[in-house]
Amino acid sequence: MTGPGRAAMFLVVAWLLAAVVLLAAQGLLVGYLLAAGAGTLAWLVLRALVRQQRAPSMLDQPTRAPLPDRYRVADDLHQPITTVVAVAEAEAERR
């Protein structure tokens, strides 16, 4: 960060600290923190809902290439392990 950037950040932090001190002196700090917290929470919830609605649907994904035989056979739990190994070896020999 550059020198002027640090000075500007210091000025902003100083003003915010002065505002917090004045709110505390007037007894309004707790109310302000509750209102700011509720507003922040509402903003985050609204932003999350909008982001969820704008996200692409998983049903709109492009179709993938079909799985190789070894994966389809391995996913079928009714197949014996010897069949799975035989299909994988046959596919390895074809390559």
Query: Do 19 and 42 reside in the same domain of the chain?
Result: yes
Per-residue pLDDT band for 79 (boundaries 50, 70, 90) equals: confident
Residues 38-41: contacts with CB within 8 Å, 24+ apart? none
Query: Do 9 and 26 reside in the same domain of the chain?
Result: yes
Query: Do 74 and 55 reside in the same domain of the chain?
Result: no
Residue numbers of the domain that contains 9: 3-60
pLDDT digits (tens, 9 = 90+) for 15-55: 999 999 999 999 999 999 999 999 999 999 999 999 999 98
Query: Do 82 and 50 reside in the same domain of the chain?
Result: no
- State percent of the chain over pLDDT 70: 99
Question: Would you state the pLDDT for residue 2?
Answer: 79
Per-residue pLDDT band for 84 (boundaries 50, 70, 90) equals: confident
